[in-house]
Amino acid sequence: MANLDYKAKKKTTGEWLFGVPTFDSKYIYAEDFDIDIIENYEIEPDTISQFTGLKDKKCTKIYHNEIFRFKKGNKDLIYLVVWIEEKACFGYKLISKSKYIYEFPFTFYDEIQEDFLNYCEVIGNKFDNSEYLN
């Protein structure tokens, strides 16, 4: 069975919670490590972000809606993690003022985990760091 790993913002505090959202996307089941039980918390449904299955150069999990920096040689680019509906996969798009915006599937490169991700670092998300999107 697939490991379902999501995060979403708690409605009352805006804190990020990790777990599995309910079918109606109003709550997330998250483990409370202080008391070692699983609780459900009301969340902001628009912030639900699924783990892509990939990690950046610092082994930080990469979730949908996150912003990462790709830095290699003289390249220093900022990307947003997106869901590409037509290809049914996660991918990324350049955050840029240019008119040409293309979504690249993470599966575009066979060597993605050996090369591309070694130069990526998660630097935020579109909810908390909207300054990158302007």
Q: How far is CA 6 from the centre of its chain?
A: 9
Q: Domain spanning 51-133: which CATH class is it, in words?
A: mainly beta
Helix (H, G, I), strand (E, B) or coil at 102: coil
Selection from 129, 105, 133, 132 nearest residue 47 by Cα: 129
Residue boundaries of the structural domains of the chain: 6-46, 51-133
Confidence (pTM): 0.87
Q: For 59-71, how does the pLDDT look when each residue is reduced to its tens digit (9 = 90+)?
A: 999 999 999 999 9
Q: For 115-132, how does the pLDDT look when each residue is reduced to its tens digit (9 = 90+)?
A: 788 899 999 999 999 998
Q: For 6-54, how does the pLDDT look when each residue is reduced to its tens digit (9 = 90+)?
A: 999 999 999 999 999 999 999 999 876 565 677 889 999 999 999 999 9
